Amino acid sequence: MDAHISQQDWIARAEKVLPGGGFGNFDPGIVIREGRGSRVWDEDGKEYIDYLIGSGPMLLGHGHPEVLEAVQEQLAKGMTFFANNARGIELAEEICNAVACADQVRFVSTGGEADMYAMRLARAHTGRDKIVKFEGGYHGMSAEALMSLAPTRLANFPMAVPDSAGIPDSVRDHMLIAPFNDIDFIRQLLAEHAGEIAAVIAEPLQRLIPPEPGFLEALRVETEKHGILLIFDEVVTGFRLAYGGAQELYGVTPDLCSLGKIIGGGFPLAAIAGKAEVMAHFDKAKVGEAGFTLQIGTLSGNPVAAAAGLKTMEILRRSGSYERLRARGVSIMKALEEHLSAAGVDHQIVGDPVLFDVVFASDRVTGYRGVLRGDASLGKRFNQKLREKGIFKPDGKIYPSLALTDDDIAQTVDAISYAAKHIGGS
């Protein structure tokens, strides 16, 4: 047997072959060896309760036995075909059954691709070029999405600020940026540019920030008034906020949505779903050459990912799944509130019990600029103290999973108490 390679050695090897020493996703100073249930272990064997859960997909926890069985069954039949397969068709049927806006589905491999194609479909359908997005909204890595995602220079609305080098100025000219939860601004913006706007794309729960009462409903009314498509980015919220996603929880139906994470059960799979007349632009026979939106992907509708997603979704449909998930989240939210308040730390608990975190600010957070006013350095120290006590989470999000046990919650509460006391006097 080969000698064990330490985490520090893996980090050194990564620094030679990976820009920044990592995959670009998470802290490269930790290398995960394995995950089981609610927990992960690093290459040195340190154990953590996992609130990152792969950035959302592992809602059932790691290595759920029923999902593994479904994957093994499909692996024996084939890994990928670049052709229609039964599991992918079944998954599309279940998405259409579950998601209010979904008459049809087109599969891709990542949520960012799904968002990109949703915006492209909107342009094809309307014949217009401009897209409205909300400041701080995350929609993948396309040029359009990387406008005012996390700007440190706050421009006047609706000016877009690129978040990356390598994006042509012409892209900025086709993007309009609005503040989330400000319906008066969006109403005025849509009226002023109505004939130019193809779509408004929004995370219905923006990162962590819930919509204010009436905001999504008004957004639906205003887009319909001006013949503008409404796109919900449900890559994170789909099958998490409720089985039918944010559309079910908030009772607002968009024209298109993007889905990812949970529908692949931990494998790379995402989708665009929407109304048949819009999805028709993927079908040249229906819309002709001029209206056709080309989409090809080597692994789109991959049968292994589809099998994992189908089994995951079957388990989520079982009685009490979402009630248990929300109860776990509520327990953690209450602990954060109790211990940070006791430590005298200004904070806001922002989000929904199935997806939330702390913003270290005294004012109520309703948009990106409220998050930006929070004390990010205090948040990093808090997260570091949590990690010392075996809590694995990203900056900015806590993802509860159905694998969490009573012991996990007790350890998490103890870690929160420890971290709050540590930063309380800083």
**For the segment 402-415, what is each residue's pLDDT rounded down to a tens digit?**
999 999 999 999 99
Mean pLDDT score, 18-30 = 95
Closest to 126 in 3D by CA, of 206, 204, 190, 214:
190
* pLDDT above 80 (res 426): no
Quickly state the pLDDT bin for 25 (edges 50, 70, 90): very high
Q: Is the pLDDT of residue 87 over 80?
A: yes
Q: What is the pLDDT of residues 36-79, one digit of tens each?
A: 999 999 999 999 999 999 999 999 999 999 999 999 999 999 99
Q: pLDDT confidence of 2, banded at 50, 70, 90? A: low
Helix, strand or coil, per DSSP, at residue 253: coil
Helix residue ranges per DSSP H, 132-210: 169-173, 183-192
Residues marked as catalytic = 138, 233, 261
Q: Average pLDDT in the 373-379 region?
A: 94
Beta 197-202 vs 256-259: how paired, if at all?
Answer: unpaired
Q: Where are the alpha helices (DSSP H) in 144-255?
A: 169-173, 183-192, 215-225, 245-250
pLDDT at residue number 3: 75
Angle at 66 between CA 65 and CA 72, to 5 degrees: 85
**3-class state of residue 235 by DSSP:** coil
User: Is pLDDT of 1 > 50?
Assistant: no
Residues in Cβ contact with 78 at an 8 Å cutoff, skipping those fewer than 6 apart: 303
pLDDT of residue 396: 85
Confidence bin at 425 (pLDDT 50/70/90): low
191-209 burial, b for 16+ CB within 10 Å, e for fewer? eebeeebbbbbbbbbbbbb
pTM for the model: 0.97
- The pLDDT, as a whole number, for residue 177 is 98
Answer for the pair 391, 48: CB distance below 8 angstroms, yes or no. Answer: yes
Phi, psi for 251 (deg, rounded to 5): 70, 30
Handedness of CA 53, 56, 57, 61 (dihedral sign): positive
**Mean pLDDT calculated for residue range 381-387:** 96
Render pLDDT for 291-324 as a digit per residue (tens, 0 to 9).
999 999 999 999 999 999 999 999 999 999 999 9
pLDDT tens for 118-141 read 999 999 999 999 999 999 999 999
Please write the tens of the pLDDT for every residue from 146-186: 999 999 889 999 999 999 999 999 999 999 999 999 999 99
Q: Which domains does the chain have, with CATH numbers?
A: 31-63+320-424 (3.90.1150.10), 65-316 (3.40.640.10)
Report, as an integer, the average pLDDT of 244-269: 98
- In order, the DSSP letters of 340-388 are HHHTT---EEEEETTEEEEE--SSPP-SHHHHHTS-HHHHHHHHHHHHH
Distance CA 271, CA 92 (A): 9
